[in-house]
Amino acid sequence: MADTPRRPSRPRMTGSERREQLLVVSRSLFAERGFEGTSVEEIAARAQVSKPVVYEHFGGKEGVYAVIVDREVQTLLTALIGPLRRGGHPRVTVEATALALLDYIETNTDGFRILVRDSPVAQATGTFSSLIGDVATQVESVLADQFRRQGFDPANAPMYAQMLVGMIALTGQWWLEARSPEKHVVAAHLVNLAWNGLRALEVEPKLTPAAVRRRQGG
C-alpha cells in the first residue's frame, strides 16, 4: 500500500508575527461584537491557536484590547493633529481636519468602531472623548488667534474649540453608519456651518427673551 501523502505543515510564526496576527483577529472581533461580546475562546479559535497562546502574549482579553485601542488612538490623533500643525487659513484648517477624520473612518472602519464603543478597559487606555479633548487643545490656539483679530475674548477659545471639534467628531460617528453623502460633501457641509457661523459670531451672545421665558415657564 502506498504511503498517504503528508499535508505540508504551515510555517511556524515568530513571536512578533503571532502577536500581530492575534491583534488583527481581535481587532475584527472587537469591532464586530464589542469588548463584552468577544471572548478569549473566540480570539483563539479565529486565530487557530489555543487559549494559552493568547494569555501568553497579552495576559487576557483586556490586554489585547488595550493595545488595539492605544494604536487606534495614536493613528487617529496623528491624522487629526497634522492639519492643525500645518497652519494656514483657518477655513482650510477646518476643512482638512474634517476630511482627515472622514478619511480615517473610511480606511479604518473597524478601528473607529472600537474607539467609539464604550468599554471599561478604554477608561484606562484612552477613550474617543479624551482623544477629541487632545485635538480640541490643539484647536484652542488657532481659535484664540482668530478671536484676538476679531476683537473677541480669547479666553473663550477653549470652549469654542470643544464645540467645533465635538461637532466634527459626532458627525463622523453618524457618517460611520450612514456613508452617504460622500465624505467630501459631508466635509463641505461641516465647514459651511462651522465657518459661516464663526464668521458671524457675536462678541457678547445672549439668549433671546423668548427662550428665557420658556425656560422659566412663562
Report the pLDDT value the prediction gives residue 130, as an integer from 0 to 100: 84
Contact criterion met (CB below 8 Å) for 162 and 139: no
pLDDT tens digits in sequence order for the chain, 218 residues long: 455 555 555 678 899 999 999 999 999 999 999 999 999 999 999 999 999 999 999 999 999 999 999 999 899 999 999 998 887 888 899 999 999 999 999 999 999 999 988 666 655 455 788 888 889 998 998 889 888 988 899 999 999 999 999 999 999 999 999 999 999 999 999 999 998 987 888 888 888 898 878 878 76
How far are the Cα atoms of 72, 99, 139, 151, 166 from residue 144, in angstroms, in the given order?
29, 22, 9, 10, 17
Contact criterion met (CB below 8 Å) for 99 and 93: no
Report the pLDDT value the prediction gives residue 95, as an integer from 0 to 100: 93
Report the pLDDT value the prediction gives residue 217, as an integer from 0 to 100: 76
What the block records as the C-alpha cell of 189 is 457641509
Report the pLDDT value the prediction gives residue 8, as an integer from 0 to 100: 54
User: What CA–CA distance (Å, rounded) separates 32 from 110?
Assistant: 8
- Name the one residue in this structure whose C-alpha cell is 494604536: 71
Report the pLDDT value the prediction gives residue 4, as an integer from 0 to 100: 57
What the block records as the C-alpha cell of 121 is 478597559
The domain 67-200 having CATH identifier 1.10.3720.10: the answer here is no
Q: Report DSSP letters for 131-195, one per residue.
A: HHHHHHHHHHHHHHHHHHHHT--GGGHHHHHHHHHHHHHHHHHHHHHH--S-HHHHHHHHHHHHH
Q: Is 54 in a helix, a strand, or coil?
A: helix
Report the pLDDT value the prediction gives residue 119, as an integer from 0 to 100: 62
User: What CA–CA distance (Å, rounded) separates 19 from 4?
Assistant: 34
User: What CA–CA distance (Å, rounded) separates 89 from 151?
Assistant: 18
Closest alpha carbon to 124 in 173, 81, 69, 76: 69
Residue 181, preceding bond cis, omega within 30 degrees? Answer: yes
User: What CA–CA distance (Å, rounded) separates 140 from 157?
Assistant: 5
